[in-house]
Structure 1
């Protein structure tokens, strides 16, 4: 065992490694960002000690003497070849993270377990899902937060005990723990993302509304959807295609019969300031005639594919095109292989981003077409009851399969990460601008390269609600660009569900409406006029708030701060620790959606301070209390926190059009009459705008007398076209007799009743 301080963000975080010094073992091939210098532990707010019998490590917060990690009073350390166990006492029952699972945000620690093994499984409770994130945050009785990350990619089970405590049982590798001492939840996430990599900065257009379905079937139907969306004047930025655009489900092809007009459709989208994304799966058909399918021919020639453990031939599974082989994205030639395929196809279909699906990897047969050998990798001595299925190779590849760096047994949980990384790097080189890669399977560090959606959810109210904990968890995991299929993927939706889901989805970081094959259309334009109006209204609100959301993503990319906050990030107490039906954009905008059917009011918690109704500007003063809010079917409750200035913009049907409009400010003063805000603005797509300084960065400040701005950077050359068209100022105690902007009189309205 070795212990050494490995401070990341604050130079006071801790790495604890437990390994066998006599044997070289597999370790996770993730380039974590360790500091170049160490720090004196006496300068940090923790102490470290250990006991010999039974062996245990103890980490305490120095300022409060609170336990952060204590394996001496938990499950004992066991270190075997394919079974490693260690436990730790927790500071409290308020535990979050450890995904990917469908559940409440607060983890139930009353003798429950979670499995960690990437699986193609539609979301359901008590089941390991698409991604693996062995990171948690715990909040102690003082309201301080700390985080623990186990850098281990093997199959794993975590058991929870109401002591409170938890126990890790991992099936390989080493124990490589990183402890982040916070002390605030935001500090913990900043420290964690400093280690695994800051989240990527999406292009501005990616924050618009995305539309997809499996089953457009042909160019004619696709064009009809695009036309009715435009005719309805519903904001709409990105059109997607699922696998039905392909020729026989073959990657890097399109059906030149059913989708003959696809190149022209994409060009038309671009002409209207819109964008296009398509799906690509990792499985490559090996059934095409030699010399006719470059993805297979080239991959075979260069040895790209994952091989079996018997004769070194590509392991054969079965996915949508039939028998398939699987690229090893850790192979040294994987980038050139994938890049060249994408570049060639981009010349046919000029896509703007890619959707990488089925990358757990999924397999319609268990292991391979030839089964799996009976050995300790395919049939390990420890079989986790918390992992779905009786065998690790169910619906995926044999763990004994060979990859460039190690066995699939060790690398399985990183397959989606490795594909996302190679895909993002390829698109960056091809497009030479920021893009969007959305992946189903994720691992720590995936957020550096792209985003995530919650997979094949169902069109029901439970899945609408569960989308909120899912998205909040991925803020902890360093993947803020995340969303859930609006209106539901599997099963038919209905007008009420789809309206409420569109209202909620308008405040996902990544917003996409997507549904399943043979299901009725559910794009907004297919509904009646009243439903369309409700959906249009909330999308226009989203588009008006995109400058604020974009600035949040900028800060996430630079500082590692989350884009969405649970309420306890703002006010940590026993009330907020359990709330997962409300959330915030940053620390300024609170969203209180309806999550149950036939409901026209919501019980919303208001953290202490001043809050302002986004629609009316009416003030709500709170000492930390619940309120019952009206929630008519065409409205989602939004409130702006006192002390905040939100940068807004005049919305339009695309972000391209909206970016040419005038800006505005929503000024919400605190109890002292002061407020502050921020705006980051560039061209929305350039790769190097931050590094090259080609951006404008403004700070807004307001008092009871005036609103001012401070220019921190003015490097965006088109910033001269940035005009402030209006400002909404709340909490005005007395209506003024006149108003000026830059010393010149301007028109204004003031409502004494609402004080706006």
Structure 2
């Protein structure tokens, strides 16, 4: 806390500060750049402006006025506060009344009651959130209390199966495996200490300790976070609407780096491939059966022949994998990437136990000796991913594997699955308990892998698959999945809810083991097919399961295999559209899978987990029950087309979609564009010179627009340095029945084609148009009378503007 002498010194130095207060509880208050320092007779705390989107509140003393040592923030990027305060300091304003201190930036404000030091928050002068008990530190417990409005609905808690509106639920803040879950789970692999309100704000409890979140269960009008020590800080993010709140929240916690384009391909994955020959054989099967594939994922058998006893070897089992470098190189020649599992548990029976102990790489007992314990895989220690020694030792094995050609990294069991409360970690030279940092373990692990990879391979985008983390883990390229889901209809049912709850807080690549992972004694062909169809419109397409039933489609008979081939090929055809979604996420924080409430603000959509938007153009309603002939789906207002048949539906009602094995409930909003690239068997085959641009026309849509993003698919600096191009597409429909489609472009990147061959495919006409012209010149077209689609092809320079008029 800055005292009077320090304030005088700052004033002499020309730094900004405001008047001293001695009213009731608030003793002093000073503003330095964008941080308001407040001293009360119980607590000292700061309020810092974060961009123009929200505030960070941090307590410096406990409820007895004793100095409190905060752990570092995990939710915020490390330079965030410094960068933000430097940029926004001149625009921050402190306004005083007799009862209130108000910290303002543009249209958002934090209001501090001088008597109680309770804080409320406003947007455009309207209070949208207010502390009820506020932050509190007592008896080694940190808590945070907010008031809830009567009709307020809230997302929050991360991975849980509770329904989209989490109000009325209490849940542990402790990342924990839930093997074989189905339609109910209040504690899972990746929790988030945060909520997002239908009143367009989010509260992020920046505390990594074991705790609890109570969203109006105990007291219906109270949101309560509690933790066993840890950081005494929270972040308030404010928005104009739900979409704004989502993107603002991600902007504050950090956007996800643009992933490698191959992330959007098909993964061959199971528990697990037991030999080098098996790996090569499964890729051969994909090739022979003409099913696209981009990566193969090796589970724990790469380092040991048995499930138990080998974890921590961190090196190849040379009996089963005699020439791993040759295998990886052979796969790479086929444009297939190799992804390896690693775990942070070093068994006392493993090859690396003595090395880990000698390097002081393991979390410890109070006396500094390695903390060992028993769990499913054997007697073990745990890598201390918080300490520099633990990080350096662990990283040395990744570095060796990267030199062998491994392209992707899968971190498993990183809750950690077993993590004693009293185990000791060293974090920035401070000893902290397992209970204090439990929920940060996967986050710190991902950070170590990601940051080291960016140094080791500066021209490569890291792929980091992990099942546990914390707020802001997306900054380290984390690709989460929803854990060991039951291989059942009950397991499929909650996957939309799980992905959406994570995506709105920045974890936009959350996905499931397609087909289900756990159990299942007999093969359910319909379940498997429907899950893979859903996966086509998911961030990651990765069938994965226990191998008593093959998760790969190549090992199943027709019609399952032929349907899977069709939908996997469709995913590859959609690569330009999907990659543009990844670009939007990297630029703006917009999720790939989006709750309908983001586009249709009516509160009726806030709780909907039956359907979701895949980008702005597609509405997907996964089939989650067996033996259905129709699938009822509530459509928003407007005109919608069946993606597969182009049948037109009027929105604003529930429609019954006719089901067959070969189709799936996916609608396209009228006025939508979709870039496609037909016939790829690898994402590496993508050729930017050839784009097929689809547009769905309806007379009710007077105008629409779309931006297609493109780069080389590899450069880590594409977004940061602006090394990408945009195709700006628009459509307008006039009263004279003229549909005008325009194309413009800007930006560039190394290797961008100088000329493009573009084919427009226009859906929605009932009959063949009378004439079509490009830049005033009539051109020949192809009319598909059965599908009622118009196709026209042309070539253009990448900088050329094109206008198409269809009468």
Q: TM-score, normalised by structure 2?
A: 0.82
Q: Does 1:714 align with 2:769?
A: no
Q: Does the CA-based 8 Å contact 2:297-2:340 persist in structure 1?
A: yes
- Normalized per residue, the structure richer in strand is 2
The answer to whether 1:401 aligns with 2:424 is yes
Q: Does 1:17 align with 2:58?
A: yes
The one of 201, 208, 233 equivalent to 1:146 is 201
- Mapped to 2, the partners of 1:46 and 1:156 lie a distance apart of 29
Distance 1:62 1:690 in 2: 32
SS at match of 2:519: coil
- Aligned-partner Cα distance in 1 for 2:483–2:644: 33
1:27 and 2:71 matched? yes
CA RMSD of aligned residues (A): 2.6
CA distance 1:741–1:276, change in 2 (3 Å):
farther
Q: Does 1:415 align with 2:471?
A: no
Deviations 1:701-751 (A, max 9, x none): 122433222212122423236432x22213347632343456472432154
In 2 relative to 1, CA 47–197 (structure 1 residues): closer, same or farther, beyond 3 Å?
closer
Return 36-45 or 271-280, whichever deviates more. Answer: 36-45
Match of 1:514 in 2: 544
What is the aligned partner in structure 2 of residue 347 from structure 1?
403
Correspondence 1:429-440 to 2 at 5 A? 429-431=455-457, 432-440=459-467
Q: 2:760 aligns with which of 715, 727, 745?
A: 727
1:345 deviation in Å?
2.4
Which residue does 2:48 correspond to in 1? Answer: 6
CA contact (8 A) 2:767 2:788 kept: no
**Other structure's SS at 2:270 match:** coil
Matching residue of 2:505: 477
User: What is the CA–CA distance in structure 2 between the aligned matches of 1:507 and 1:86, rounded to whole Å?
Assistant: 38
1:136 — aligned with what?
195
**Structure 1, unaligned stretches of length 5 or more?**
363-394
Structure 1 or 2, whichever has the larger Rg, is 2
Cα distance in structure 2, aligned partners of 1:481 and 1:232: 28
Q: Distance in 1 between matches of 2:53 and 2:302?
A: 51
Alpha-carbon distance, 1:456 to partner: 0.8
Deviation digits for residues 376-426 of structure 1, max 9, x if unmatched? xxxxxxxxxxxxxxxxxxx32343423234222211111101111111223
Question: Which residue in the other structure is 2:129 paired with?
Answer: 68
1:48 corresponds, among 98, 111, 117, to 111
Q: Describe the shift of the 1:661–1:266 C-alpha distance in structure 2 as closer, same or farther (beyond 3 A).
A: farther
Matched positions, count: 702
Tell me the residue number matched to 1:90: 148
Higher relative contact order (CA 8 A, sep 6+): 1
**Paired residues of 1:592 and 1:604 also in contact (CA < 8 A):** yes
Q: Distance in 1 between matches of 2:555 and 2:397?
A: 36
Aligned CA distance change for structure 1 residues 16 and 690 (closer, same or farther; 3 Å): closer
Q: By how many angstroms is 1:327 displaced? A: 2.0
- Asked whether the equivalents of residues 137 and 232 of structure 2 are also in contact (C-alpha less than 8 Å), the reply is no
Q: Aligned partners of 1:194, 1:246: CA distance in 2, in Å?
A: 39
1:437-452 to 2 correspondence within 5 Å? 437-449=464-476, 450-452=478-480
Shift of 1:458: 0.8
Q: Secondary structure at the match of 2:274?
A: coil
What SS does the corresponding residue of 1:438 show, helix, strand or coil?
Answer: strand
Q: Which of 346, 351, 354 is equivalent to 1:284?
A: 346
Q: What's the CA shift for 1:490?
A: 0.6
| Residue 256 of structure 1: aligned partner | 318
Q: Aligned partners of 1:185, 1:339: CA distance in 2, in Å?
A: 40
| Aligned-partner Cα distance in 2 for 1:689–1:14 | 30
| 1:633 paired residue number | 661
Matches of 1:628 and 1:308 in 2, distance apart?
A: 61
What is the SS of the residue equivalent to 2:752?
helix
8 Å CA contact 1:534, 1:635 repeated in 2:
no
Deviations 1:488-538 (A, max 9, x none): 111124111100000011111012111115x22131111212111111111
Per the alignment, in what secondary structure is the counterpart of residue 488 of structure 1?
A: coil
Q: Name 1:274's counterpart in structure 2.
A: 336
Does structure 2 retain, via aligned residues, the 8 Å contact 1:275–1:352? yes
The unaligned stretches of length 5 or more in structure 2 are 1-42, 94-102, 305-309, 734-738, 791-807
Among 649, 653, 674, the residue aligned to 1:646 = 674
Q: Which residue of 2 aligns with 1:357?
A: 412
Quote the offset at 1:606 in angstroms: 1.4
Alpha carbons 2:596, 2:611 under 8 Å: kept: yes
Q: For residues 174 and 341 of structure 1, do their structure 2 counterparts lie closer, same or farther at Cα, with a shift above 3 Å needed?
A: closer
CA distance in 1 between partners of 2:789 and 2:637 (Å)? 20
Structure 1 residues 631 and 241: alpha-carbon distance in aligned structure 2, compared to 1, 3 A threshold: same
Aligned residue among 711, 719, 725 for 1:690? 719
Asked if the contact 1:122/1:457 (under 8 Å) is kept, the reply is yes
Distance in 1 (CA, whole Å) between partners of 2:629 and 2:221 is 38
In the other structure, the counterpart of 1:372 is none
Contact 1:582 1:590 in 2 (8 A): yes
Deviations 1:584-632 (A, max 9, x none): 112211111211111122111211222222223343332x221111121
- Work out the CA distance in 2 between the residues paired with 1:546 and 1:237: 13
Give the 3-state SS of the residue equivalent to 2:649 in structure 1: strand
Partner of 1:375: none
Q: Does the 8 A contact of 1:4 with 1:14 survive in 2?
A: no
Alpha-carbon distance between aligned partners in 1 of 2:635 and 2:331, rounded to the nearest angstrom: 42
